[in-house]
Amino acid sequence: MLKHRRALAWLLALACIAGAAVALFDIETPLRPFLISLFLLVVPGAAVVGLLRDRDPLAALSVGAAASLVLNVLLAQAMLLFNAWSPRAGVATVAVLGGFMYVLRVLYRGKSMQTEQGARAR
């Protein structure tokens, strides 16, 4: 079961990377709408779910999906408001924000790991 879950996670990650590459390099493919949509919906949601560890999985998944939609809508609204509509910039912004949230997750887990190790030493 764990192998299937890990394989699915890797497949999803590769599809998201492909979606970002397709959007950023303007590659024409029949899978373009699917891959870009997958990237825009999964990356922010996965980043938020990663920050919500030790929570109910269904609640974390719901919050991640809502955060993903909110982030995309706010980004689109901001680009329209400032008359700076650019699909490439939108994908790049989502990638940067997702990466920033991933760094926060790593720092947060590193801090909690140090705290747990300190508690074990006592």
| Segment 12-21, tens digit of pLDDT | 999 999 999 9
Q: In this structure, are residues 44 and 68 in contact, taking their beta carbons and an 8 Å threshold? A: yes
Establish if 62 belongs to a structural domain. Answer: no
What is the total count of domains within the chain?
1
Q: What pLDDT shows up at residue 119?
A: 52
Cα(84)–Cα(19) distance, integer angstroms:
22
Is the confidence at residue 117, as pLDDT, over 70?
A: no
Establish if 55 belongs to a structural domain. Answer: no
Write out pLDDT tens, residues 37-57.
999 999 999 999 988 877 888
Establish if 93 belongs to a structural domain. Answer: yes
Residue with tokens 């030493």: 121
What Å distances lie between residue 44 and 39, 66, 111, CA to CA? 9, 10, 22
Establish if 114 belongs to a structural domain. Answer: yes
Looking from the CA of 70 toward its CB, the CA atoms found within 13 Å total: 8
Establish if 98 belongs to a structural domain. Answer: yes
Q: What pLDDT shows up at residue 40?
A: 94
**What range defines the domain where residue 114 resides?**
86-121
Cα(49)–Cα(30) distance, integer angstroms:
30
Q: What is the 3-state secondary structure (H, E, C) of 45-114?
A: HHHHHHHCCCCCHHHHHHHHHHHHHHHHHHHHHHHHHCCCCCHHHHHHHHHHHHHHHHHHHHHHHHHHHH
Write out pLDDT tens, residues 54-111.
788 899 999 999 999 999 999 999 999 999 999 999 999 999 999 999 999 889 877 6
Q: What is the pTM of this model?
A: 0.82
